[in-house]
Structure 1
Amino acid sequence: MGKNDFLTPKAIANRIKAKGLQKLRWYCQMCQKQCRDENGFKCHCLSESHQRQMQVFGLNPNRVIGGYSEEFERTFLDHMRRSHRFSRVAATVVYNEYISDRHHIHMNSTEWATLTEFVKYLGRTSKCKVEETPKGWFITYIDQDSETIFKDRLKNKRMQSDLAEEERQECVIAKQIERAVALLPSTSDSIEEIWNTPQYEDTQLQQTKSLEKIMFSIQPASAASSKPIVAGDKSGIPISNNANLGFGEDPEFEGKAKKAKSASGNACNAATSGKSALDELMKEEEITKERMNRKDYWLCEGIVVKVMSKTLIDKGYYKQKGVVRKVIDKYVGEIEILENKHVLRIDQEELETVIPQIGGVVKIVNGAYRGSSARLLSVETERFCAKVQIEKGIYDGRVLQAVDYEDICKFLP
């Protein structure tokens, strides 16, 4: 077995060392060779193969450096898109993850001498959102994928159509309530009109023009109970006592009288139950709005939330309050911490709503009146609910009782 054969201990040790990362200053990008120490790098620079590569580089150095710079930028942003697409992360963390691949493009072969220059370049070209903090440079990837932009446009268009549909239905419901309220006084007026019609006026006993004598036959009490009292004139024609009062045995008249009684009864019932009918209509409206506006997502811009992610305890963000600056895909919020102005991207399941002091402004984030601004009137700590009054909009001034804590949140207008 030879001295440097494949299975000799020295060859195995060399391969183990070659797997790990070496110092960047001893790497030759033109030859793609990593040297272990300064002496090895010096010997490589004096080699014939390296000299030929340097002659190629001397023919067009700008093209070579530009090609390496473009490839380094592309691979760096690809890693950002895969690993930290929706996160705000330190630039050094991303760079250390990127160079963990032994065959990456090294920064000493690009036009940027340091990582800070490269980060500033990403900020100038609007490829990343760059922030300088006492802890170093932080970057956030800006998604410029055409498919993503198209999906965002479709989502915004769909949200606008949903809002327009909700506003249209709210206007229709408001008009129905106005019509119901306008019908209440008309029902009471209909009662007076029914009783003032000529056909239902009390029929007066009319005096006959002729002064003829009217004869009455008086019968005993036993007979009177079995036979009706009958009156007659000179002609001997019997006249019923009901006819003198104007109420003959006319079936048409009896039918009209029954209709009048039923109409008056319905009008009275409508007048007495008008308020309950309005309440029923409002309840139906509440149920319809609750079914339409109750969603499984509640984040919206401008509200103050509390971070409840236990994975962020070590970084000091646990139970910190922040403002939602941007909502991503309905369920992820870009939170700006109020204490140190750091920006985090957190899922809504790791956030909870914040209740302000009495009299503060809140945003209704879920339920029938989702999206409305309101004023906090009182809080019931035992039932975990609050009493609010809506401000602005078509429901201005409406007071909502027993609104759950999860449905309202402190709002910074």
Structure 2
Amino acid sequence: MGKNDFLTPKAIANRIKAKGLQKLRWYCQMCQKQCRDENGFKCHCMSESHQRQMQVFGQNPNRIIDGYSEEFESTFLEHMKRSHRFSRIAATVVYNEYINDRHHIHMNSTQWATLTEFVKYLGRMGKCKVDETPKGWFITYIDRDSETLLKEKMKNKRARADLVDEEKQERDIKRQIEKAEEQSAVVDSEPPPPPKALEKYETNEKIAFNLGASSSSKPLMKQKGGESSTKPVFEELETESRGGASKGGGSGGGGALDELMKEQEMAKERMNRKDYWLCEGIVVKVMSKVLAEKGYYKQKGVVRKVIDKYVGEIEMVESKHVLRIDQEELETVIPQIGGLVKIVNGAYRGSLAKLIAVDTNKFCAKVQIDKGIYDGRVLKAVEYEDICKLAQ
């Protein structure tokens, strides 16, 4: 057995020593060799094998560096996708996890000299969301997989279809309102018939009053030559009065219109009332007592992302920390009078509105829709749970 064979004590000792991570500056990517100290790295650089690799490198250095850079970037993002797909995490933490593999592509062989330069590059290319904080650089992976993009596209398509249905429903309501107003205007524009004066005939006929008759009988009768006549004197006037009463009853169309609008509102309420209300861009209050020890209880944060409809990634206003909290442990925030709110549940779910007044006794608010197809509409009794302050 040779001196440096695979199972010799010296070879085993060398492998044991090489298991841990060594300094980056003593690693040769071209030869894929890690040296343990400066002297070893110097000896390696003077070796014949390293000289041959450097001659290959000298023929096309840009191509080799670009290849290593591309491989480093792809493996780094693959690790982000597997381990921290939906999280905002420190760049140093991700890098330390990535270099745990001894055979990774080392950064000294890429076009980036430092981790900060690499993080800035990811932000410029739109592959990660990058934030600089007093605690260092934080990155968030941007998922651009075909499956995720397809799901997002279908979600947007459903949202647009719902919006089109709402607009169509709103147009139908407006058309019915205009039609009812036109009909009532035509009825109001017709002049009432002029009253007819009573005419007195100079005849010898006697007028008799039937006092014993019932209320349904004719109250006033003519007599001629002692024979009673069945024709009432004011028959024409009674007919006209009945006709006027029937026209007056036609004004009840407004009540039918109110009923129709109420039914439409109830239909929208049933369609848009959900058991989840979280949405991006609103300010919420953390009500989890489990987080009280860490100082997050009753603290406000902004919803940056919604996961599976019920869980939100909340960026705290004061500490800028990002937490994942279920909506059961969150509460809506009501702004000051005149502030912008978002309707998060109910018939007008998703609309932006302005807070006009607050009724603290009934725990409801009065808002005016600010944008969208319902612009200008005033909602008088909206519960606190259905509106939330909009992040500026």
Question: TM-score, normalized by length of structure 2?
Answer: 0.71
CA distance 1:355–1:320, shift in 2 (3 Å): same
Task: Give the match's secondary structure for 2:104.
Answer: coil
Contact 1:303–1:410 (CA under 8 A) maintained in structure 2: yes
Q: Determine if contact 1:203/1:246 at 8 Å carries over to the other structure.
A: no
Deviations 1:369-399 (A, max 9, x none): 2204032422436x6x312132446463634
Q: CA deviation at 1:304?
A: 2.1
Q: Counterpart of 1:242 in 2: which secondary structure?
A: strand
**Match of 2:84, as an amino acid?**
H
Contact 1:294 1:368 in 2 (8 A): yes
Instruction: Give distance in 2, aligned partners of 1:316 and 1:86.
Output: 24
Change (3 A) 1:170 1:347: farther
Instruction: Return 5+ residue gaps in structure 2 as ranges.
Output: 207-222
Does the alignment pair 1:305 with 2:293? no
Contact 1:86 1:345 in 2 (8 A): no
Alignment of structure 1 residues 12-91 onto 2, 5 Å: 18-37=18-37, 41=41, 44-45=44-45, 47-91=47-91
Residue deviations 1:151-178 (CA, integer Å, cap 9, x gap): 5455445434432331332232234345
Aligned to 2:213: none
Q: Deviations over 1:297-352 (max 9, x none)?
A: 54455532234578977876664423456778877767554335x47485663643
**Inter-partner Cα distance in structure 1 for 2:346 and 2:18:** 61
Contact 2:314 2:325 in 1 (8 A): no
Report the equivalent of 2:365. Answer: 387
Could you state the TM-score of these two structures normalised by the residue count of structure 1?
0.68
Equivalents in 2 of 1:395, 1:113: separation in Å? 54
Q: Secondary structure at the match of 1:130?
A: strand
C-alpha spacing 1:64/1:360, structure 2 compared with 1 (3 Å): closer
Matches within 5 A, 1:125-140: 125-140=125-140
Find the partner of 1:355 among 318, 326, 334: 334
Q: Deviations for 1:109-148, whole angstroms, at most 9, x for unmatched residues? A: 2222221222233334443333322111222334455665
CA contact (8 A) 1:205 1:245 kept: no
The 5 Å alignment of 1:2-21 reads: 18-21=18-21
Shift in alpha-carbon separation, 1:162–1:323, aligned structure 2, 3 A: same
Contact kept in structure 1, 2:365 and 2:383, CA below 8 Å: no
1:65, 1:111 within 8 Å by CA — same for their partners in 2? yes
Query: What is the aligned-residue identity percentage?
Result: 64
**Mapping for residues 247-396 of structure 1, pairs under 5 Å:** 271=251, 276-300=255-279, 302-307=281-286, 319-324=298-303, 337-339=316-318, 342=320, 344=322, 346=324, 349=327, 351-358=330-337, 360-370=339-349, 371-380=351-360, 385-392=363-370, 394=374, 396=376
Superposed CA deviations along residues 248-306 of structure 1, whole A, max 9, x for unmatched, are xxxxx9xx97x996x777656655x6665444233212202212332455445553223
Deviations 1:3-56 (A, max 9, x none): 999889887776665544344344332232334555655555555544443443
1:71 Cα deviation (Å)? 0.9
Tell whether the 8 Å contact from 1:80 to 1:141 is kept in structure 2 after alignment: yes
**Deviation of residue 104 (structure 1)?**
0.9
Q: Report the alpha carbon displacement of residue 95 of structure 1 after superposing the two structures with TM.
A: 0.5
Structure 1 pair 354–31 and aligned structure 2 pair: CA distance change class (3 A): same
Q: Would the alpha carbon gap of residues 302 and 110 (structure 1) be closer, same or farther in structure 2, given more than 3 Å must change?
A: closer
Question: Which residue identity does 1:407 align to in structure 2?
Answer: D
The answer on 1:111 being equivalent to 2:90 is no
Deviation for aligned residue 1:105: 0.7
| Distance (whole Å) between structure 2 residues aligned to residue 205 and residue 112 of structure 1 | 115
- How far does the alpha carbon of each residue in 1:208-248 deviate from its partner, in whole angstroms, 9 at most, with x for none? 7xx7x99xxxxxxxxxxxxxxxx896xxxx9554258698x
Equivalent residue, structure 2, for 1:398? 378
Distance change (3 Å), C-alpha of 1:43 and 1:407: same
Distance 1:124 1:387, change over 3 A: closer
Please give the alpha-carbon distance, in whole angstroms, between the structure 2 residues aligned to 1:18 and 1:167: 68
Instruction: State the Cα distance separating 1:409 from its structure 2 match.
Output: 0.7
Equivalent pair of 1:188/1:268 in contact (CA under 8 Å): no
SS in structure 1 of the partner of residue 230 of structure 2: helix
Question: What RMSD, in angstroms, separates the aligned Cα atoms of the two structures?
Answer: 4.8
User: Structure 1's 135 and 243: CA in aligned 2 closer, same or farther, altered over 3 A?
Assistant: closer
Partner of 2:219: none
Amino acid paired to 2:360: E
1:407 CA drift (Å) = 0.8
* Total equivalences in the alignment: 374
- Note closer, same or farther for the CA distance 1:121–1:312 as it changes in structure 2 (3 Å cut): farther
Other-structure match for 2:230: 242
Please give the alpha-carbon distance, in whole angstroms, between the structure 2 residues aligned to 1:378 and 1:179: 36
The one-letter amino acid paired with 2:354 is A
Q: Deviations over 1:177-224 (max 9, x none)?
A: 45446656877899x96xx699xx99989777xx7x99xxxxxxxxxx
8 Å CA contact retained: 2:271, 2:347: yes
Structure 1 residue matching 2:347: 3-state secondary structure: coil
Distance 2:379 2:21 in 1: 67
Moved more, 92-101 or 35-44: 35-44
